[in-house]
Homo-oligomer: A and B are copies of this chain.
């Protein structure tokens, strides 16, 4: 597909660094995609998001199809123009949110019928409609519609679900056609069962996609099972295509997944935590609500150069968090996204110089030591 591509620029063990090329710009990998659910990364202006180092956003098809509507966004010139973000946007298929947020009516081979969580209106999402909506939004990277079975489903249920997801993947690919410069990614399913994951990879590769996502993880299985599943999956995925782990995750999840060959991530954690007074730092998480910050003149993270750390004290952040001021959400979201982007930049540099194992070990030791300390202090 002309205009879209992936350049693998370096490897260090299973970890990879490279660049995803789109018509709206390159994305250096490993990459973290902030989530811009309803045509905004909550609490930030687009230039703030860009200032954190983000090169691509994720847009949620489910939210946008309900409000303001995909056809409306198309009439208004597409999602990029609508939200003033001229760089790449990846859109999910809407399937995951339909299953977690909507009042679900019925899943059939044809698609999913559901009611909007906003006004109860009935909608229908099929593989074809999911691709149509993402096209109307003007997405740079579209995701196939899949079914994401709940964690704990039996192997046979997951196998059945997987089979339908693979038929939906084929229909999605057929529907998207060859929109120039716009990519379509398949999604590997199969729960925590290695042979199902490998079957899924094989079937998707047979269809042929511009990139491959790993779906259905971070749904309750825990980090050990997630890493084991990645160990059984990524070695079978095409090396010349970007690999995207959906909805992951905590900083240590991301580091472990990069070590296992993942290139792209998205997660609401840095943005949602920011709105809840929680910050990620190189020394673990910090709860700004804690009274120990009330007279702390130091910055949130002395190693960070984001807007919050550049000229505000922990005492100020504590104050605005306690007072429920909007600027608390803005500054902490900004910081958390900057931290995630700095972590990705650190991983990219470490892979390029062949030192990712040491980087990961150093990061995790320090981050987890800070976590333990914070737990002790916060528990008091």
Interfacial residues, chain A to chain B (CB-CB below 8 A): 38-40, 42-45, 67-68, 72, 75-77, 82-84, 294-295, 297, 307, 311-313, 315-316, 318-320, 322-323, 325-327, 329-331
Known: A295-B75, A297-B76, A330-B45. A39 touches B307 (CB 8 A): no
Among B77, B295, B322, which residue has its beta carbon within 8 angstroms of that of A297?
B77
Contact at A326–B68, with CB atoms within 8 Å?
no
Q: 29 A-B residue contacts at CB 8 Å?
A: A38-B319, A38-B320, A38-B323, A39-B316, A39-B319, A40-B325, A40-B326, A42-B326, A42-B327, A43-B326, A43-B327, A45-B307, A45-B327, A45-B330, A68-B315, A68-B322, A72-B295, A72-B315, A75-B295, A76-B295, A76-B297, A77-B297, A82-B313, A82-B316, A83-B316, A84-B312, A84-B316, A326-B330, A330-B330
Chain B residue at smallest Cβ distance from A41: B327
Contact at B326–A67, with CB atoms within 8 Å?
no
Q: How many copies of this chain are found per oligomer?
A: 2
Once the chains are docked, how many angstroms separate the CA of A330 from the CA of B333? Answer: 14
The interface residues of chain B lying within 8 Å CB-to-CB of A294 are 68, 72
Once the chains are docked, how many angstroms separate the CA of A106 from the CA of B77? Answer: 60
Most buried by B among A42, A84, A331: A84
Once the chains are docked, how many angstroms separate the CA of A7 from the CA of B77? Answer: 51
Within the complex, the shortest CB–CB distance from A324 to chain B, in Å, comes to: 9
